[in-house]
Structure 1
Amino acid sequence: MLEVRGLRAGYGAVEVLRGIDLSVGRGEIVAVLGANGVGKTTLNMALSGVLPATSGTITFDGVALGASASMAVDAGLVHVPEGRKIFPNMSVRENLELGSYRRGAKNRARNLENVFDTFPRLRERAVQAAGTLSGGEQQMLAIGRGMMAEPKLLILDEPSLGLSPLLVEEMFSLVRRLNADGLPIMLVEQNVVQSLEIAARAYIIENGTVTMSGTSVEISANPELKRAYLGL
């Protein structure tokens, strides 16, 4: 579904991504893990066409990407950014409808019902200003907005960030449920343990390069990961 080869990108003279190789297959949850500042969000921005790559290739569903963000969305690669990035002064419904601005407009009403079925709390708060929602509800809204674009692949950037432990559990259950409905997901997270519990495969990024990859079982058993991320 997604093939990334030799991807390099950065900001001005500062190179952040230093030759990233990764892939996401149809129906998979693939975790991209690493500490804050290793290049995860830069990777998402490059995949989404927000940040131009300096070299390497991004192929999504047989289409070469990287030229623009609109091209990525048109192809069905939808990115839910870190920090939710909702429109606080607009209603929940208006935020969701904006998700179908570029893609999914023909099925807006049907997709809106699907989002409300997935997130009943958003239905209850449809006319409420998005900025007055709780952190967990805002994250639901951000994901729901991404679903409105009828994604073929959903990139979730730190969906558990800033949530209480109970809401973190709920968020990971949601990711598993979306995937069970057939949606491939690239889960970009600092939460190593819970990400590995739901992902089929994982990549560990350090200093802009992939330092470890394999099945979640293999990664979980790796003594280097236990030392670096779990303190064992």
Structure 2
Amino acid sequence: MLEVRGLRAGYGGTEVLRGIDLAVGAGEIVAVLGANGVGKTTLNKVLSGLVPAAAGEIRFEDRPIARASAAAIVEAGLIHVPEGRKIFPNLSVRENLVLGSYRRGRARRGANLERVFALFPRLKERARQAAGTLSGGEQQMLAIGRGLMAEPRLLILDEPSLGLSPLLVEEMFALVKDLNREGLPIMLVEQNVVQSLDLASRAYILENGTVALSGAASALAADPALRRAYLGL
């Protein structure tokens, strides 16, 4: 689905990504893990066409997209649910969801809206409510629902558990698992190492803009270097 080779990018004269290689296959959940400041959000922005790649190759379903516009990338079905939700607080829940189908999925907007409401009954209850009045967990549901309205071929979730209570974190990871069971490939970008590795089939650990470790999630969870660095064991 997604292949990244030798990706370099940054801001001004500061290089943030220093030669990233990664891939996401059909039907996979692939975790991209690391602490704050290692380049996770920059990676997502480059993949989404919001930050230009300085070097390297990005292919989505075997088509080069490293120089494609953000609109073209969305139209291709690579959908990014950003860190911090980025909802439109003064618009209603329904209006936020409808905007998710602006570039892609417009023909089946009604059916997709009902699917999102079936996944998130709380959003249906609050359909006419201003999105900014929702709780943090509800806003995260809304952000994911808005992404699903675009009928993603691959969904990038950037820190979906950030700021949520432990109970809501469990619900969020259960949702990710359910979406994947329906056949949706997911790139899960997280700081929550333990639960992400439990959910994913493969994982990449980023450090200082490079891939420090990669492989099967189960093998990485048992890796002594990772356990020392991230789990304190």
- Please state which band the TM-score falls in when normalised by the shorter chain: over 0.9
Cross-structure match for 1:53: 53
Aligned CA RMSD, in angstroms, stands at: 0.4
Q: Secondary structure at the match of 1:79?
A: strand
Cross-structure match for 2:203: 202
Counterparts of 2:69 and 2:10, CA distance in 1: 16
- Note the alpha carbon deviations across 1:49-92, whole angstroms, 9 max, x for none: 00000000000011111221111101100000000000000000
Q: How far has the Cα of 1:7 moved from its partner?
A: 0.3
Counterparts of 1:63 and 1:163, CA distance in 2: 36
Superposition map of 1:79-94 within 5 A: 79-94=80-95
Identify unmatched segments of 5+ residues in structure 2. none
Identity %: 75
Matched, 1:3 2:34: no
Letter matched to residue 43 of structure 1: L
Letter matched to residue 32 of structure 1: V
Matched, 1:68 2:98: no
Counterparts of 2:105 and 2:24, CA distance in 1: 23
- Note the alpha carbon deviations across 1:89-113, whole angstroms, 9 max, x for none: 0000000000000001011001000
Matched, 1:146 2:147: yes
TM-score when scaled to structure 2?
0.99
Counterparts of 1:6 and 1:162, CA distance in 2: 32
Letter matched to residue 27 of structure 2: G
Cross-structure match for 1:214: 215
Counterparts of 1:141 and 1:105, CA distance in 2: 18
Q: Secondary structure at the match of 2:98?
A: helix
Cross-structure match for 1:44: 44
Cross-structure match for 1:17: 17
Cross-structure match for 1:135: 136
Counterparts of 1:62 and 1:100, CA distance in 2: 24
Matched, 1:167 2:168: yes
Cross-structure match for 2:118: 117
Cross-structure match for 2:31: 31
Counterparts of 1:56 and 1:62, CA distance in 2: 15
Counterparts of 1:72 and 1:197, CA distance in 2: 29
Identify unmatched segments of 5+ residues in structure 1. none
Q: Secondary structure at the match of 1:94?
A: helix
Q: Secondary structure at the match of 2:146?
A: helix
Counterparts of 1:68 and 1:210, CA distance in 2: 26
Letter matched to residue 21 of structure 1: D
**How many residues get paired?**
232
Q: Secondary structure at the match of 1:30?
A: strand
Cross-structure match for 2:181: 180
